[in-house]
Structure 1
Amino acid sequence: MEKTNTQKVKLHIRKGDRVRVIAGDDKGKEGTVLEILTSKNRATVEGVNIVTKHTKPSAGKPEGGINKTEASIHISNLQLIDGSGKLTRTGRKANDKGKLQRYSKKTGDFITNGNS
C-alpha cells in the first residue's frame, strides 16, 4: 500500500508569476505561469514547452487536425523574475502584519500577487 503525502507543498512559484526557463530545450524563454500541478511539482508556462498533439476527428470536433499546446515543465527549471526584471530566488518572511509573505532575495522587496 502506497503512502500518500497529505501535507501541502509550498513552492517558490505561483500562478500568474513571470518566470524564465533556466534549463532544458526552452532555456532563456520567458512567460507567465498558467497552472501549477503541486502533486507533480510541475507548472504550465505560457509560450514554453510547446508540444504537438494530433487529434482524431470526432462528433464534437469533426475537423480533427494538429494542435499545438503548452505542456508542463518541472518547477526546478523555472526561476522567478522580480519587478525590476531580474532573476531572483525567493524566501519567506513576516510582513508588517505578521503574515508570512514571499520576498525577493536579490532586492529584499516583498513579492505581491504576480510581481512587484
Structure 2
Amino acid sequence: MKLRKGDHVRVITGKDKGAEGVVERVYPKTNKVLVSGVNTAAKHQVARRANEQSGIIDKDMPIDASNVMFLHKGETVRLGYSTNKQGEKVRIARPSGDEV
C-alpha cells in the first residue's frame, strides 16, 4: 500500500466521489484507509461515563484504498517508488516523476 497517514487524497468512486480529505489511519491488512470527513456513518452511542456525550454521532468509517487517489499539486496522481541520489527509497508521482 502506497498511501500513508497524513496524505491528501480525493475519492474517485462511491457515494462520496469528489470529496477530499487527509488520511488519518491506514489498515494495510484489509487494504483500507480512514479519511477525515469521508464515508461517515451515524452511530448510536450511550454515555459510559459522566463526561461522555450520548446520542447519535457521525463517525468516519474506513474506505477501500482503491477508491482514493493521492493529490499532488491539486491533481490526482498514481504513486510509484524510486531511489534518490542518496540511495533512499522515495515515493514519486507517476506522470511527472516528482518526489512526493
2:25 aligned residue (11, 23, 35): 35
User: Take 2:47 and 2:2, find their aligned partners in 1: how far apart are those partners?
Assistant: 40
Secondary structure of the residue that 2:21 maps to in structure 1?
Answer: strand
Larger Rg: 1
Residue 64 (structure 1) aligns with:
54
2:79 corresponds to which residue? 90
2:93 corresponds to which residue?
A: 104
Q: Which runs of 5+ in 2 are unaligned?
A: none
TM-score, normalised via structure 1 length: 0.80
Alpha-carbon distance between aligned partners in 2 of 1:58 and 1:19, rounded to the nearest angstrom: 34
Structure 1 vs Structure 2 CA RMSD = 1.4
What is the percent sequence identity of the aligned residues?
35
2:45 partner letter: T
Q: Give the number of equivalent residue pairs.
A: 100
Question: TM-score scaled to structure 2, two decimals?
Answer: 0.92
1:71 aligned partner, one-letter code: M
Which amino acid in the other structure matches residue 34 of structure 2? T
What letter matches 2:56 in structure 1?
A: I
SS of equivalent residue, structure 2 residue 66: helix
Separation in structure 2 between the aligned mates of residue 74 and residue 66 of structure 1, nearest angstrom: 25
Gaps of 5+ in 1: 1-10, 112-116
Question: How far off is 1:107 after superposition?
Answer: 1.7
